[in-house]
Amino acid sequence: MEPWNSTLGSGFILMGILNDSGSPELLCATITVLYTLALTSNGLLLLAITMDARLHVPMSLLLRQLSLMDLLFTSVVTPKAIVDFLLSENTISFGGCALQVFLVLTLGGAEDLLLAFMAYDRYVAICHPLNYMVLMRPRVCWLMVVTPWVLASLNALGHTLYIMHFSFCMSREISHLLCEIPPLLKLACADTSRYELMVYVMGVTFLIPSFVAILVSYSVILLTVLHMPSNEGRQKALVTCSSHLTVVRMFYGAATFMYVLPSSLHSPKQDNIISVFYTMVTPALNSLIYSLRNKEVMGALRRVLQKYMLRTHS
DSSP 189: S
In angstroms, the CA 184 to CA 174 distance is: 7
* Cα 31 to the center of its chain, rounded Å: 16
pLDDT tens digits along 74-97: 999 999 988 888 888 888 888 999
The dihedral formed by the CA atoms of 25, 27, 30 and 34, expressed in degrees to the nearest 10? -130
8 falls in which pLDDT band (50, 70, 90)? very low
Lowest mean pLDDT among 51-65, 72-86, 224-238: 224-238
Q: What pLDDT is attached to residue 292?
A: 66
* SS3 call for 160: helix
* CA atoms of 115 and 122, how far apart (whole Å): 11
Start-to-end CA distance of the chain, whole Å, equals 69
Q: Cα(164)–Cα(188) distance, rounded to whole angstroms?
A: 10
Of 43-52, 168-177, 305-314, highest mean pLDDT: 43-52
Burial environment of residue 160 by CB neighbours within 10 A (0 to 12, 13 to 18, 19 or more): buried
CB of 210 closer than 8 Å to CB of 116: yes
Question: Beta strand pairing status for 12-14 and 173-174?
Answer: parallel
Q: State residue 233's pLDDT score.
A: 66
- Angle formed at CA 69 by CA 66 and CA 75, multiple of 5 degrees: 140
Q: State residue 28's pLDDT score.
A: 87
Dihedrals phi, psi of 20, to nearest 5 degrees: -95, -5
Q: What is the pLDDT of residue 145?
A: 94
For residue 170, the model assigns a pLDDT of 57
pLDDT for the residue numbered 293: 65
Answer positive or negative: Cα dihedral of 59, 72, 250, 256.
negative
Q: CATH topology for 13-299?
A: Rhopdopsin 7-helix transmembrane proteins (1.20.1070)
How far is Cα 19 from Cα 29, in angstroms, rounded to an integer? 14
